[in-house]
Each structure stands twice: as structure tokens, then as C-alpha cells.
């Protein structure tokens, strides 16, 4: 049956992407840290009528995330598309964040995506198709957002590495760069941003791009540019849920 997996199914981009893929009839698997986030995301997808499975896991807990991903495969089969949308978005100038804090941010922003991809991409490659999409941003480093700048730089490198490893076998790996704060009714409406994820997933192989940019209309003639440069991504709460920050 396959379908879409959303890791980091918060009320912004995560829910919007889930709704977008559900609208196309794909079964949806939602992974988040809290029951409240999962309930809200499942309710948002429910009107589509597609099968929905919710699994509680922390993206930094390798064993726990792998158990959740295995549960997805049991329920829906090897997914057609995996979206990694978990991130810690916080302001921290040089020297303000402890070493432990940087390690925690890196684990959420980069290592969780690596673990999810490494766990599912081999099966996608064996099948000969699949898509892995990671929410990116911050291509220009900002000294007020050190951990986020480092994390999003890591995402860009990770996407290239995964593409080199799994792309030849038919797995499309790409990122969606969001160049501003996400909020409904603005230039950065999550439903508009979600269109990039669907576009990347449905690109013919000969037209694959590694990045889609969502920027203000005034600053980018084509917000789906694969080579555009973006500023900082959505601001979020310091800690309600990591998976609610995007």
C-alpha cells in the first residue's frame, strides 16, 4: 500500500504536508514526540479519508525511531515518500549555547534525518523508487542563530550525500528551503509550502532537483527554484515539541 511518512508532524509545515499528500490518496504515517501533536495531526488529515497511523517517537532516539519506522512498514509497506520535518529553531549567538545544547540541536536537525534515511532508503533503493525530503533553510549563516545555521548547513550536505548513495538506485533526495517565518495567510503559508514537497515527489527522474526554495514573491520570481538562496526558517517555541517547530 505504501504512502507518506511525516517525521515531525507539528501544526505548521508537518500537518500541511500530511494534508497535501493525503489529498492525493496516499496513506499517511505521522511520527511525533507527543500524543497531543499526533492527535491534532491525525484530526487534520482525517477529512481526506485515507488510512492514518500515528506513532510516538523522538527523532534523536535511534532505537525508538527505528521501532516507529518499522511499525510504518508493517502497517503501510515501504513508504513512497519520507518527510523529515523535525528541528530545533532557537536564537543563540556564538558562545551562548552549551556544548550539550549544540549536540542536542545537531541530533534533532541532522542526525535524526540521517537515521531515518539510513533505515528506510535501502528498501526504497531495492524497490527502485522512493523520495526522501528534508525541511531545510538558513543557507546564509546568521550569528544570532548559530545552532540553526550549523544544522541547516548539515542538512544540505546530508541531502547531497544521500543523493550520491541512493539516487542511482531511484531514490530522489531533496530539501525544501523555507526563507521566512511560517504562518497561515502570509507569504509563508504552510499550505503553499507543502506544494513544494508534492512537486519534488512527483518530479520525473530526468527532472529531479535537489532543493526547492520558498521565498517571498518580491524576493524570488520563482519560489520553487532549485538553486535559490534563503534566509532563516520559521521561528518556533523553545520547547513545546521539537516536532511542532516547523
Give me the CATH number covering residue 42.
3.40.50.720
139: CB partners within 8 A, 6+ apart: 152, 156, 177, 229, 230
- CB count within 10 Å of CB 63 equals 9
pLDDT tens for 165-201 read 999 999 999 999 988 888 999 999 999 999 999 999 9
- What's the pTM value of the predicted model, to 2 decimals? 0.89
| Structural domains in the chain (count) | 1
Domain that holds residue 153: 4-244
Distance CA 148, CA 228 (A): 19
- Give, for all 246 residues of the chain, the pLDDT tens digit: 689 999 999 999 999 999 999 999 999 999 999 999 999 999 999 999 999 999 999 999 999 999 999 999 999 999 999 999 999 999 999 999 999 999 999 999 999 999 999 999 999 999 999 999 999 987 688 999 999 999 999 999 999 999 999 999 999 999 999 888 889 999 999 999 999 999 999 999 999 999 999 987 644 433 343 333 222 333 333 333 344 345
Kindly state the cell numbers that stand for 14: 508537518
Amino acid at each position: 500500500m505504501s504512502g507518506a511518512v511525516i517525521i515531525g508532524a507539528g501544526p505548521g509545515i508537518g500537518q500541511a504536508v500530511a494534508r497535501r499528500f493525503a489529498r492525493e490518496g496516499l496513506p499517511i504515517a505521522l511520527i511525533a514526540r507527543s500524543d497531543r501533536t499526533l492527535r491534532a495531526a491525525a484530526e487534520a488529515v482525517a477529512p481526506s479519508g485515507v488510512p492514518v497511523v500515528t506513532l510516538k517517537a523522538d527523532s534523536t532516539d535511534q532505537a525508538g525511531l527505528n521501532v516507529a519506522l518499522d511499525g510504518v512498514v508493517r502497517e503501510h509497506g515501504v513508504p513512497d515518500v519520507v518527510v523529515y520535518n523535525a528541528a530545533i529553531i532557537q536564537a543563540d549567538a556564538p558562545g551562548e549555547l552549551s556544548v550539550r545544547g549544540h549536540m542536542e540541536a545537531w541530533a534533532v536537525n541532522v542526525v535524526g534525518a540521517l537515521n531515518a534515511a539510513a533505515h528506510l532508503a535501502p528498501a526504497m533503493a531495492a524497490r527502485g523508487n522512493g523520495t526522501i525530503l528534508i525541511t531545510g533553510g538558513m543557507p546564509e549563516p546568521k550569528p544570532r542563530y548559530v545552532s540553526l545555521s550549523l544544522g541547516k548547513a548539515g542538512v544540505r550536505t546530508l541531502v547531497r550525500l544521500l543523493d550520491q548513495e541512493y539516487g542511482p538506485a531511484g531514490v530522489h533526495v531533496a530539501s525544501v528551503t523555507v526563507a521566512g517565518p511560517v504562518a497561515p495567510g502570509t507569504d509563508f503559508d504552510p499550505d503553499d509550502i507543502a506544494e513544494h514537497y508534492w512537486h519534488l515527489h512527483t518530479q520525473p527522474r530526468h527532472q529531479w532537483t535537489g532543493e526547492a526554495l520558498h521565498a517571498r514573491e518580491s524576493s524570488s520570481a520563482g519560489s520553487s527554484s532549485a538553486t535559490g538562496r534563503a534566509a532563516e526558517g520559521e521561528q518556533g517555541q523553545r520547547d513545546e515539541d521539537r516536532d511542532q517547530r516547523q
